[in-house]
Amino acid sequence: MEFLLENILNLIGFLVGLGIGIMSLIGFRNTGSPTLFRLTIAFFSISLGFFVIWAGYMAEDFVTKSGNIERWVQTLGIAIQTVGYFFIAFSHSIKSFFPKSSYFRSVGILPLFLVSSVQLEHLFRSVSFILLAYGAIETMLSYLDNRNKGAISVSVGLALLALGEFLGWYSFVFPESILYSVSMVIKIGGLVALFIPVSKVPLTKIKFDEGLE
């Protein structure tokens, strides 16, 4: 049952990411925004990552029948998602590697213990967590500066994705728990939160970000 649930959640993640990627692509074509171009790459990458993992589950279910998804397939999917998270973080107000507030710099310390792991999957999850946590913090600080309501949804979305990645790593510590499924639900919720501001852009015809590199 848990295997089926994880399979379904990865499929949902693929479809949600693909849908947002298509919306971002339409927005980029209508506005020429470099930000939407980066978001298009980001969401297509995240969608592809979910698809790779889902395909791994399907291959296990119908071909190998080993009872577990191949580790290299899961690692590949997470690596592709990490690329997407980088572009999301880069698109949403990360102007420097560390947050402006010294109070929040300690957040970067939390996942560093993962870097020493010999498994690439842990490393990718660590990088994803750092990117998403910094993105959420920077976006919230941006909201405090200019009170842009869209920044709240973006910050919540990034925070949910970061939490999902952290719980995804923790599911390896407790493999018999439902933490992985919970992390998937949280990540899908994060994508939906990010969809809210993106969905408001595609129908506009105004050029913006023209002065940005």
- 140: closest CA among 111, 112, 100? 100
pTM assigned to the model: 0.75
In the predicted model, is pLDDT for residue 47 greater than 90? yes
Q: How high is the pLDDT of residue 131?
A: 81
Instruction: Pick the more confident residue, 103 or 174.
Output: 174
Instruction: Pick the more confident residue, 202 or 138.
Output: 138
Burial class (CB in 10 A: 0-12, 13-18, 19+), 94: buried
Taken in order of first residue, the domains within the chain and their CATH numbers are 1-95+113-202 (1.20.1070)
Angle at the Cα of 41 from the Cα atoms of 45 and 25, rounded to 5 degrees: 120
What is the band of 44 on the pLDDT scale with cuts at 50, 70, 90? very high
What span, in angstroms and rounded, lies between the C-alpha atoms of 1 and 14? 20
Q: How high is the pLDDT of residue 119?
A: 67
Instruction: Pick the more confident residue, 15 or 118.
Output: 15
User: Once rounded to an integer, what is the mean pLDDT over residues 168-197?
Assistant: 81
What span, in angstroms and rounded, lies between the C-alpha atoms of 82 and 110? 18
Contact between residue 28 and residue 36 where contact means Cβ atoms under 8 Å apart: yes
Instruction: Pick the more confident residue, 110 or 201.
Output: 201
What span, in angstroms and rounded, lies between the C-alpha atoms of 35 and 160? 21
User: Once rounded to an integer, what is the mean pLDDT over residues 39-43?
Assistant: 89
Q: Using a pLDDT cut of 70, give the percent of the chain over it.
A: 72
> What is the CA 144 to chain-centroid distance, rounded?
23
DSSP per-residue codes, 28-48? HHHH--HHHHHHHHHHHHHHH
What span, in angstroms and rounded, lies between the C-alpha atoms of 194 and 161? 10
**CB contact burial 37-70 (16+ within 10 A = b; e otherwise):** bbbbbbbbbbbbbbbbbbbbbeebeeeeeeeebe
Instruction: Pick the more confident residue, 104 or 180.
Output: 180
pLDDT digits (tens, 9 = 90+) for 58-99: 887 777 666 667 778 888 888 899 888 888 877 654 444 444
User: Once rounded to an integer, what is the mean pLDDT over residues 106-130?
Assistant: 60
Which residue in the block uniquely carries the two structure tokens 């980066």? 38
